[in-house]
Amino acid sequence: MPKNSKAVKRELDDDVTESVKDLLSNEDACDDSFKKSSLIVNNHEGEGKECDVEEGGSDGEEEERPAWNSKLQYILAQVGFSVGLGNVWRFPYLCQKNGGGAYLVPYLILLILIGIPLFFLELAVGQRIRRGSIGVWNYISPRLGGIGFASCVVCFFVALYYNVIISWSLFYFSQSFQQPLPWHECPLVKNKTSPYVVPECEKSSATTYYWYREALDISNSISEGGGLNWKMTVCLLVAWSMVCLAMIKGIQSSGKVGTALAPCSHTLVLICFLVRALLLKGSIDGIRHMFTPKLEIMLEAKVWREAATQVFFALGLGFGGVIAFSSYNKRDNNCHFDAVLVSFINFFTSVLATLVVFAVLGFKANIMNSKCVALNTNKIVALLGNGIEESLIPHHINLTQVSQVSAEDYHQMIDIIRGVKEDEYRQLGLESCSIEDELNKAVQGTGLAFIAFTEAMTHFPASPFWSVMFFLMLVNLGLGSMFGTIEGILTPLIDTFKVRKEFLTVGCCVLAFSIGLLFVQRSGNYFVAMFDDYSATLPLLIVVILENVAIAWFYGIDKFFEDLKDMLGFTPYRFYYYMWKFITPILLMVLLCSSFIQLIMTPPSYSAWIQEEAKEKNLHFPPWGIVVCISLVVMAIMPVPVVFGLRYFNIIDENTSGLSTVSYKKGRIIKESARPGEDDDASLIQGKSPSEAPSPMPGNSIYRKQSGSGGPDADTAPNGRYGIGYLMADMPDMPESDL
């Protein structure tokens, strides 16, 4: 029977309210009857109690919002998102740079104090509110709704250059089906007399030359554009096409891809590489270097700052992908278990990748050390009788066969020479040829994968096979992270504007590819470094701080704990209460302040490859480059103050947060003005168009879910796939123009 406003008021007895969170969590399939009908009555005081009215049965979750096929599919997708290229080259580089094994200590501490609590928070928020990042933070506090838009902007910036790295991997993958590999040796230039080695390659190395000249064809500075690199342009198009096709059908498609890719790329390939690397000569030297602690470095603030930044990137905190993925979970999913599991899978994957990297670097260091020994032994032979007496050479060392001189023999010779010719030793130009020195020269960033690894692979038996496996792993790792990053863009926009996912996905990928052409010109590598340094780090840190503060202080930590207890069936450890409310925000603020100080004290710069000198040189960004760096930071965080200002000055009504808070239920939103003599608190919401639909925020309104079949009168979403609102009280049909 239809119920009027008075009937609803009598049923509620007092000023009874049901929280929005329960309204959202109790959504049922539109084609089934409901077990319960949820009501919200918000009075002027904003206080009330919850009340449920029992009705028919239901099969559970709403069928309109996609869901994971299984728990395993979801876990693998989250692992695929969190474990990416950074685990292969960024984490090992930071470990090597900041004291080897000593870096693991601050990283593990910050993972426990910052990483896991914030990862758990994002998983819980997404699962509870079941929205993308925009809808989630609009629900928590409309004035902080800009956090969701800032997450989308950061995701977009990261996706722009992250897919470029995937395109580099695709290029190397396509070139790996050759024997010998094209970066095996320096190319020869033929002339009329005799061929000679390309000078740029002769001054550096075959793999370095191939990376900078054959793959990137890099210019000498960021100011020299140099036109598009057509090979990388094609690879970038392929990379975006793969992402677009995988994402166009939603989480089922990306989840299945993640299920297939994760085991191969995250475990099997790394284990195979580790076993093979440990069999190489000198690999133990690299492992020993990794676990040799430099405790004095661990006390530096820079080490802790870089460890914390890596925690954010490793777990994908602030990107919105974590929230987007968890929003498709069942309401009673144990997201605390997921947070701990994925965090430690990520950590151990990073350690496994680091073991592989250091084993390979140990092998490479021994090769480079052997070359150093041979080169300097030839110098000693040339100096015999002309600065070095033959009597200084130990009798058991045969200098007629330089290739037979070992590193130990060489060190014995230079120790004797240094002791006898202490004053003249520097003039002789003899190098120490230390394996430790070679390990300390390890290439950073992308160079670690595309220079160091490729050089090591040239010494592997069946090198094309290992090259194919390695770059296939990089592509898979990159795609797994890209799926989560793109999901962090698409899900909140779809939740907010109710557009078809296919159209939005294609449009987003086409736009990103068009902007991405900036990264495949000859100076593109410098723009990749710029975006990596300035478009994500600071904005990401600010977003994470605001997320933590929004939950702990705006929404209320006690209320959030009640939500978790209702959702999980148990109360989380008190550890998280103090982390979210006090310790984690303080640590994040200290990290933010130190980052600002570093930026002020260190002018923006980048590492340029000088073709004539065949070496890298640190250059400062030109004035327009500094403007771009600042603009990237400002654009990423601008949505936060803009949305806050619009809400604060009531330019946008705080009680109208738009479509991001509207349910996925098929139905219509009906509004009826309060009749004379009735309390406004019992008035039903009058019909509004989707763009005017009120948010489930505090206000004077009643929402009601009523059983129904979602028949022809039900108002569906513009895309025909998602519903636009809750069914309200049964009322006479209204003209379509009034909806």
Distance CA 121, CA 133 (A): 13
**DSSP 3-state of 189:** strand
β-strand partners of 189: 196
Nearest to 387 by CA among 421, 345, 361: 421
CA distances from 617 to 221, 248, 605 (A): 10, 42, 10
Alpha-carbon span 204 to 199, nearest angstrom: 9
Total Cβ atoms within 10 A of residue 109: 14
Q: Is 320 annotated as a binding residue?
A: no
| Torsions phi, psi for 33 (to 5 deg) | -75, 165
Helices 537-549 and 146-174 cross at an angle (nearest 10°) of 140
Pairing of strands 196-197, 605-610: unpaired
User: Bridge partners of 155?
Assistant: none
In angstroms, rounded to a whole number, what is the distance separating the alpha carbons of residues 180 and 619? 36
First CA to last CA distance, the chain: 22
- The tokens 């007399």 sit on which residue? 193
Q: What is the distance, to the nearest Å, from the Cα of residue 662 to the centroid of all Cα atoms in its chain?
A: 28
Q: Is 83 annotated as a binding residue?
A: yes
Strands 36-41 and 52-54: antiparallel
Cα 55 to Cα 33: distance, rounded to the nearest angstrom = 8
Token representation of residue 52: 């449920």
Structure letter (DSSP) for residue 616: E
Amino acid sitting at position 651: I
Residue 32 · residue 60 · CB < 8 Å? no
CA 587, CA 106: separation in Å to the nearest integer?
Answer: 13
Reference 291, options 362, 368, 349, 364; nearest CA is: 362
State the CB neighbour count (10 A cutoff) for residue 67: 17
CA–CA distance, 592 with 318 (Å, rounded to integer): 14
Closest by Cα among 95, 24, 103, 119 to 65: 24
Nearest to 72 by CA among 255, 271, 316: 255
Contacts of 702 (CB under 8 A, 6+ apart): 8, 39, 40, 41, 681, 682, 683, 684, 685, 728
Cα separation, 455 vs 444, in Å, equals 15
Is 80 among the annotated ligand-binding positions? yes
Place of tokens 């994971």: 68
Q: How far is CA 643 from the centre of its chain?
A: 25
Say whether 378 counts as a known binding-site residue.
Answer: no
Whether cis (ω within 30° of 0) applies to the bond prior to 180 is: yes
Binding site: which residues? Answer: 80, 83, 87, 346, 477, 481
Binding site for Na(+): which residues? Answer: 80, 83, 87, 346, 477, 481
